[in-house]
């Protein structure tokens, strides 16, 4: 995969993490977690799309559509885990 494609994918997934943090709020630590989850989801989605021959909003060598969907799925799951862990901590007190 060419370097410009990788840079574009990293920038796009970082933007997704930052936007999700802007909408959900939280600390700087949570922003970094959302960005990390966005990166992981984006690249796993891209790799899965290539392996299964899916083409959803492809941009050059990048399956941006599948990467975007997986990125938001990972961030939502991470956010739900954070919420559930917070509820469990308050119930134990």
User: Count of CB atoms within 10 A of residue 63's CB?
Assistant: 25
| 79/41 Cα distance (integer angstroms) | 14
Average pLDDT over residues 65-75: 94
| 49/64 Cα distance (integer angstroms) | 10
Residue 86 confidence class, pLDDT cut points 50, 70, 90: confident
pLDDT of residue 22: 92
pLDDT of residue 28: 86
Average pLDDT over residues 3-8: 90
pTM, to two decimals:
0.83
Quote the number of domains for the chain: 1
| 30/34 Cα distance (integer angstroms) | 6
By residue range, what is the domain housing residue 81? Answer: 3-92
pLDDT of residue 77: 93
């Amino acid at each position: 995969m060419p370097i410009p494609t990788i840079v574009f994918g990293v920038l796009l997934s970082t933007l997704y993490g930052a936007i999700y943090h802007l909408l959900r709020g939280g600390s700087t630590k949570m922003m970094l977690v959302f960005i990390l989850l966005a990166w992981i989801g984006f690249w796993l989605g891209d790799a899965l799309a290539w392996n299964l021959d899916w083409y959803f909003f492809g941009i050059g060598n990048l399956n941006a559509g599948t990467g975007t969907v997986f990125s938001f799925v990972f961030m939502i799951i991470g956010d739900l885990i954070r919420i559930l862990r917070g509820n469990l901590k308050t119930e134990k007190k």
